[in-house]
Amino acid sequence: MRARHVLPAALAVAALVLTGCVDNSTPTTADKSGDAAIGDVAIDKAAAALLPSDMAKEGVLVIGTSPNYAPNEFKNDAGEPIGWAIEMSDALAAKLGLKPEYTIANFENIIPNIAGGRIDVGESSFTDNAERQKQVDFVNYYIAGVQWASAAGTTVDPDDACGLRVAVQATTWQDTVEIPGKSEACVAAGKDPIKKVALDTQDAAANAVALGQADAFSADSPVTLYGIEKLKGKLQPAGKTFDAAPYGLAVKKDSGMAEAVQMALQSMVDDGSYGKILTSWGVSDGGLDTITINAGG
């Protein structure tokens, strides 16, 4: 998540009555489970040997996530975290010989909780960048670009959105970096600024466009394409994918966890379990052959 504001009451009510709204509760053909791939995962003893001794003794991997960014991480009808990145994290724990234990947290609280030792791994579509690397280390597991969407039948150019209302999920990279930067460029060119609409969840951002509350929304490419598919003809891609950057699993800085997670994920790439999970969710285009550490700029 390229990195929240409360959803206005009127918009929240409208979203509830919107036919085909993105609510992440009813699985579609895109919500395929990769659990079969997890069953194929064997412990990598070399990776497990790199774990901190207390973690290996307890046998638990505490994973922090903010599950509102489908299809990467979101909730099923029972309120449990699901998604391709959740399944990857399940498989990672199995590869390390640990039991995954999920802590649901606000996106902005995950990294501080890693630094404070309350979470072992942060999985919430974090874009690895230099600023975040000051607080945590990142094990890079996927490449995602930015993709805009607009209402079906409209024309929106992400490179010329001056004066438009653009919805984003609060605290993401789109909220804190992309839209403010583009808006400043508009003002510098003597044009109207972009009217940023920062909302609590990505579902709300997509619904805002479908409801006419925003002209477009910006999110990571797998998230935008999933939202377009869920809203069945109400949205369309706006422009092409741009600014590709790595997602990273966040771990405590200089703790040795990065090396253990890197080795485990590379083992998953090599044995095919990583690819099975991505393929089952239709997101294999961003898959990596080599797992890296702190590769984001």
Q: What is the pLDDT of residues 56-87, one digit of tens each?
A: 999 999 999 999 889 999 999 999 999 999 99
CA distances from 172 to 127, 229, 270 (A): 9, 22, 31
* pLDDT tier for residue 176 given thresholds of 50, 70 and 90: very high
Residues 88 and 150 placed together within one structural domain of the fold: no
CATH number at residue 287: 3.40.190.10
pLDDT at 236 over 90: yes
The pLDDT value given to residue 295: 96
Pairing of strands 74-75, 121-122: unpaired
CA distances from 113 to 5, 29, 95, 99 (A): 21, 35, 24, 19
pLDDT at 95 over 90: yes
The pLDDT value given to residue 1: 55
Q: Does a structural domain hold residue 257?
A: yes
Residues 181 and 98 placed together within one structural domain of the fold: no
pLDDT tens digits, one per residue of 191-224: 999 999 999 888 899 999 999 999 999 999 999 9
Q: Which of 202, 203, 225, 235 is nearest to 282 (CA)?
A: 225
Q: What is the mean pLDDT of residues 159-179?
A: 95
Are 21 and 15 in contact by the 8 Å Cβ rule? The answer is yes
The pLDDT value given to residue 81: 97
2-6, 127-131, 154-158, 167-171: segment of lowest average pLDDT: 2-6
The pLDDT value given to residue 117: 96
Number of folded domains that form the chain: 2
Residues 112 and 251 placed together within one structural domain of the fold: yes
**Which structural domain range is residue 182 located in?**
12-20+146-243
Are 214 and 165 in contact by the 8 Å Cβ rule? The answer is yes
Give CA–CA dist 23/17, Å, rounded: 11
Q: Which residue has the higher pLDDT, 115 or 28?
A: 115
Q: What is the mean pLDDT of residues 80-102?
A: 97
The pLDDT value given to residue 40: 72
The pLDDT value given to residue 171: 85
Q: Does a structural domain hold residue 165?
A: yes
Residues 121 and 173 placed together within one structural domain of the fold: no
The pLDDT value given to residue 92: 98
- Chain-wide mean pLDDT for the chain? 88
pLDDT at 25 over 90: no
| Model confidence, pTM | 0.76
Last residue of a domain, one of 228, 243, 258: 243
Give CA–CA dist 155/175, Å, rounded: 22
Residues 52 and 115 placed together within one structural domain of the fold: yes
Residues 134 and 255 placed together within one structural domain of the fold: yes
pLDDT tens digits, one per residue of 259-271: 999 999 999 999 9
pLDDT at 5 over 50: no
φ and ψ at residue 252, rounded to 5 degrees: -60, 135
Residues 136 and 282 placed together within one structural domain of the fold: yes
Residues 124 and 205 placed together within one structural domain of the fold: no
Q: What is the mean pLDDT of residues 162-175?
A: 94
The pLDDT value given to residue 172: 87
Residues 169 and 104 placed together within one structural domain of the fold: no
Other CB atoms within 10 Å distance of the CB of residue 272: 12
pLDDT tens digits, one per residue of 119-155: 999 999 999 999 999 999 999 999 999 999 999 999 9
Residues 48 and 78 placed together within one structural domain of the fold: yes
The pLDDT value given to residue 173: 87
Are 211 and 40 in contact by the 8 Å Cβ rule? The answer is no
